[in-house]
Amino acid sequence: MEKIQFKNAFFIKLGREGEWEESSIKEGKVRIGWHEISLRTINKGDWDGITIRLRKSYGNKGVGTRDANALRTIAESTSEDIWITFHASKLWWCRLRDGKVKDDSISKHRVVLGKWNDQNINGRTLYVYDIPGSLSKVRAFRATVCRVEPADDLRRVINAEQSGVYYDVQQAKDALARRLESAISKLHWKDFEILVDLIFSRSNLKRTGGVGKAKDYSDIELEDQITGDRYLIQVKSQASLRDFRDYADDFPSGQFRRLYFIVHSPDKSLENYDGTEYDEVELILPNRISMMVVDCGLVNWVLDKVR
């Protein structure tokens, strides 16, 4: 999909305490106040007169000037600019259709080009908790309009691009996981079994039997404490594709939701297998095991075992 480009980026607060957020987004408008300034005066562009009027109305030169500048920014913004706001815990963005300020029974407004959008170009919803703090912090801005800085953060979020910091850290994380593969392969089979148990215990799954003391078919049996679903885990230091298929073919699917077949040193036949033959059996090989170790904070545990 074509990248979104823009000249300027602005945040707007849609009404006092967000009173116009819902109607603006639903109707494709950017609603504004300034009831004391006529529509004709705004569209005529009498900014000196508007500034004087607002200074007198507010009794404060600085506030009057700031509001006049904000109103001018809205009135003169073109479709080359991006506008953002926040509603329902999401970031919304739009462009303004070129043209004059209008009004209706609710308020003065600019018409949006297309619609307000709460997703990036890949269709992922822009929840506030997923966006950089440099963007979410503008919600605290107390006036009506402010420039979004740095605009590059907004451009990256809308275009679903990674930040330089994210890329660097992810590269380091991937490198760590790759190095961990060789460390995990050196674990004693009993330690590897314990490691797998530790990984799953950090989810909502509770072991229903001791490690290595489950039924003959599996090494670990787990139960989801919320849904009651039961899972089996077969842990192998070494295994072949035939070993995997033997367990997968015998999996008691009526009693358990899923079987995890986990191997730290698969042979070539298993290493090259795509793992898609069985719907209820999941094969977990070294590259994924090592990333699970990183994500679960178990790197030091592994290091202690291979010191």
pLDDT of residue 213: 41
- Stated pTM of the model: 0.70
In a domain, 24, yes or no: yes
**223 in the same domain as 111:** no
Pairing, β 29-32 against β 108-117: antiparallel
Tokens 């800085």 belong to which residue? Answer: 149
> Cis link prior to 150 (omega < 30° from 0)?
yes
Domain termination site, one of 107, 123, 158: 158
CATH classification of the domain holding 39: 3.10.590
122-176 confidence digits (pLDDT tens): 999 999 999 998 898 998 888 899 999 889 999 999 999 988 888 999 999 999 9
In a domain, 154, yes or no: yes
* Cα gap 245→259, rounded to integer Å: 12
In a domain, 172, yes or no: no
**151 in the same domain as 18:** yes
Q: What is the dihedral of CA 72, 74, 78, 80, to 10 degrees?
A: 120
**154 in the same domain as 47:** yes
Q: Are 69 and 146 in contact (CB under 8 A)?
A: no
Burial (CB count <10 Å: 0-12, 13-18, 19+), residue 211: middle
pLDDT of residue 214: 42
29-73 confidence digits (pLDDT tens): 999 999 999 999 999 999 999 999 999 998 999 999 999 999 999
In a domain, 2, yes or no: no
**133 in the same domain as 184:** no
**153 in the same domain as 61:** yes
**By C-alpha distance, which of 263, 267, 264 is closest to 248?**
263
Q: At what angle do helices 47-58 and 61-76 cross, to 10 degrees?
A: 140
In a domain, 286, yes or no: yes
pLDDT of residue 276: 84
Burial (CB count <10 Å: 0-12, 13-18, 19+), residue 42: buried
- Whole domain around residue 248: which residue ranges? 177-306
What token pair was written down for 290?
A: 């090592």
Q: Are 260 and 282 in contact (CB under 8 A)?
A: yes
* Cα gap 279→239, rounded to integer Å: 20
How many independent structural domains does the chain possess?
A: 2
Q: Say what percent of the chain tops pLDDT 90.
A: 79
233-283 confidence digits (pLDDT tens): 999 999 999 999 999 999 988 889 999 999 999 999 999 998 788 999 999
